[in-house]
Amino acid sequence: MPPRSDPHPYLAATAGSEASRPPRVLAHRGLVAADAASAGVAENTRAAFAAAEAAGALYLESDCRVTADGEVVLFHDAELRRVTGDPRRVAELSLRELSAIMAGRGGLLTLGEALDEFPQARFNIDVKSAKATDPAGRIVAPHAHRVLLTSFSDDYRLRALRSAEAAGGLPATSPGQRGIARLLAAVVSRSRSLEARALAGLDALQIPERQGPLRVLNARLLDAAHREGVEVHVWTVNDPQRMVTLADRGVDGVVTDRADLALATLS
């Protein structure tokens, strides 16, 4: 597949001169400042996304799961324990029950509500469960120009993309663990044809700098991605000096818990 001549609208919306545009800032699960956290505001909530948008973030990163009554909601963990202290799982609770629990923690959002309430935002959605794939795809289809779908599971990611396409829209996408492993093997082989195949159909490559002892981000991977018209976004970067270093290396985006700090550092 030849290099992309035009980026997906998700990335093209604010694209300027590549020589002058700073890395994109993706607000990881919104923005929860210290004072908001002390007041009980949680990640992935209406309040967290409103704070990120107020700070100037265009790209909002989140996760989706399905409630017991089939509603796609923005929530990272399979269970509520870390966020609320409740040991139950998202999949055990109805939308009404989960909304009541999250009411004092910033407000639960369904995926559809998030897209409607933040119409100017670009959403980076990580599909966390098999049951979320098909409904999430259908929900984002009308908003495909401003959505990127990803997942640690490439099976979930591809199912969600197929669902979106069948419903009339094709979001941008970034690979899961299997896709990243395939690309890393291609980079090690130093085969441009294998690198191109591993990057085919992708819009962004969202990766950590390292995974344990393994260095994921390297100059050849950056070069391969850019040659095929694929952006490289690194997660999760909260230190300003690392942000600057990554920008100097040519990274196209940083996923961060501190969107306010990143925007001030990288603008």
Residue positions annotated with a catalytic role? 28, 76
Which residue(s) pair with 122 in the sheet?
59
Q: 212: exposed, middle or buried (C-beta count within 10 Å: 0-12, 13-18, 19+)?
A: exposed
Q: Which amino acid is at 116?
A: D
Rounded CA-CA distance 229/199 in Å is: 9
Tokens found for residue 3: 């290099």
3 state SS of 74 = strand
* Contact between 173 and 148 (Cβ < 8 Å): yes
Rounded CA-CA distance 252/222 in Å is: 10
* Contact between 49 and 70 (Cβ < 8 Å): no
DSSP single-letter state for residue 16: -
